[in-house]
Amino acid sequence: MKLASQLTVTALAAGFAIATFAALTPAAPKAAFPDPATDEPLAKTSSQQQVVFSGGCFWGVQAVFKHTKGVLSSTSGYAGGTVKNPSYEQVSTGRTGHAESVRVVYDPSQVSFGQLLKVFFAVAHDPTTLNRQGPDEGTQYRSAIFFADENQKKLATAYIKQLDDAKVFHHSIVTQLGMLTDFYPAEGYHQDYAELHPMQPYIYVNDLPKIEHLKKDYPELWVAKK
């Protein structure tokens, strides 16, 4: 394909993506995002803890947490389903019960669990849309937190209540909470997808603004490319 034709196709695709995104994206939060009222202080010693977040397509969620302070790794994958070692094609049918998810491994001496929750709810996705994020629809795109222990569950439950009570969003939060059991890393081509394909129309429209939002509005939690 000639370059001119490639540019035309890309422009048309971007235009379609923008129109679709604008039509499906819910209104922005109506109140400022508070810090969690219930949180733990930073740990005195370095260690590794994990949590799995689900908030629509894992490309953008992974990219956001890759640029979050204290996050040691973020891996796209699948959680919350019944099929062992599912493929992307299987999960995309919506019949395996999995959600596109991101396993976040973090150092609690650098970032608190509450701060990760704030990034998840304020930046990474819209927690008020049931089984949908932007142009993506289905249970595989649901909002969920798969906690690693009861303390994470307690903090997540408290923060959801805090946000709902403060009416930060126009609608109630629909994020599901569940114990982390199995997490299956996604295929290699899904890892770091947003970083590797920044001009892909879907990424450009849906995910790059999230990264910029984190950098601009939460500089204390932002880190440059790792």
Residues carrying an active site annotation: 57
- Token duo for residue 38: 């219930």
Q: Are residues 39 and 113 in contact, defined by beta-carbon separation less than 8 angstroms?
A: yes
How many CA atoms lie less than 13 Å away from 197 in the CB half-sphere? Answer: 16
CA pair distance 167, 33, nearest whole angstrom:
10
